[in-house]
Amino acid sequence: MFAVSPELAERIRKYNLEQNIEDMQTLGFTVVKDVAQDEFIAGLRSAIVRCCQEDKGQYFGITKKGISSDLLLARDPLIAEATLNPKILTMIEFMCGRGAQISQVSGSVRFAGANAMPLHCDQSWLPAPFPEHNALMTACWYCDDTTDEASGATKVVPGSHRERRHPNPEEVKAEAGARPLVAPRGSVGMWDGRLWHANYPRAREGERVLLHATYCRLAYRPLEDYGLELPL
């Protein structure tokens, strides 16, 4: 699964992603830093907030203290640019193979008092046991510091991707081994589609703004269809 071509190995070295590659194999998640300048992150944050305010989506089924927006790829040039970031695409190729596709691009804004998601896997449509190769990979652009539980950080269970199944109801309730994914503003948190994860309630004032970009292997159908929105 983790074979690397000479060309990909060169890009991994170029972008200093060796530790991130190791994290993905052992933990099932990683945080990629120095992906863009602060000015870009500020502009990306504004674009996400604008789209979420326009759409007022239900934040992936959570209606309390949060809004979201889907189908964002064509909504703002900065969002499209983020999905094509060369560092991120290098990680995507390592995890999802050459020819991986954009599956879903969405944004979310969580406010103080936002409740938490339950533990889950992103490749939720696949029955267990999962294939040896993951189906997809998620890249979350953190436009605000999410460095502790109070900030509403992503919750991850290290190594759970190796279970190759969904967490059962008892495991969802217990969240054994879960910890916050520490992601400073301007970093990108990435995780295997098989990883058990959720998030913590946001107790801090202010907002947590994220761009959620999901990529899938060539063999899988993307969740979103941009055929009518993007120029040929």
In the chain the domains, ranked by start, together with CATH numbers, are 19-216 (2.60.120.620)
Average pLDDT, integer, range 56-76: 88
User: In this predicted structure, what is the pLDDT of residue 225?
Assistant: 87
Is the pLDDT confidence value at 93 over 60?
yes
**3 state DSSP class of 169:** helix
Average pLDDT, integer, range 168-187: 97
Of 129, 102, 111, 140, whose CA–CA distance to 204 is shortest?
111
User: In this predicted structure, what is the pLDDT of residue 231?
Assistant: 57
If pLDDT is split at 50, 70 and 90, which confidence band does 60 have?
confident
Q: Give the rounded percent of residues in the chain with a pLDDT score beyond 70.
A: 98
If pLDDT is split at 50, 70 and 90, which confidence band does 39 have?
very high
Asked which of 62-76, 86-100, 125-139, 149-163 is least confident by mean pLDDT, the reply is 62-76
User: In this predicted structure, what is the pLDDT of residue 57?
Assistant: 93
Do the beta carbons of residue 187 and residue 88 sit within 8 Å? no
If pLDDT is split at 50, 70 and 90, which confidence band does 99 have?
very high
Average pLDDT, integer, range 74-81: 96
Terminal CA-to-CA distance of the chain, rounded, Å? 33
**3 state DSSP class of 72:** coil
Return the top range by mean pLDDT from 43-47, 122-126, 228-232.
Answer: 43-47
Average pLDDT, integer, range 170-190: 97
If pLDDT is split at 50, 70 and 90, which confidence band does 229 have?
low
Hey, what are 130's tokens? 């999962």
The alpha carbons of the chain give a radius of gyration, in whole angstroms, of: 17
User: In this predicted structure, what is the pLDDT of residue 3?
Assistant: 84
Is the pLDDT confidence value at 143 over 70?
yes
Dihedral (Cα; 162, 217, 191, 206), 10-degree rounding: -150
Average pLDDT over the chain, rounded to an integer: 94
Which are the contacts of 140, defined by CB distance < 8 A and separation ≥ 6? 154, 183, 188, 189, 190, 210, 211, 212, 213
Average pLDDT, integer, range 29-49: 97
Of 171, 13, 72, whose CA–CA distance to 4 is shortest?
13
Is the pLDDT confidence value at 232 over 60?
no
If pLDDT is split at 50, 70 and 90, which confidence band does 230 have?
low
Hey, what are 33's tokens? 């830093």
Is the pLDDT confidence value at 144 over 60?
yes
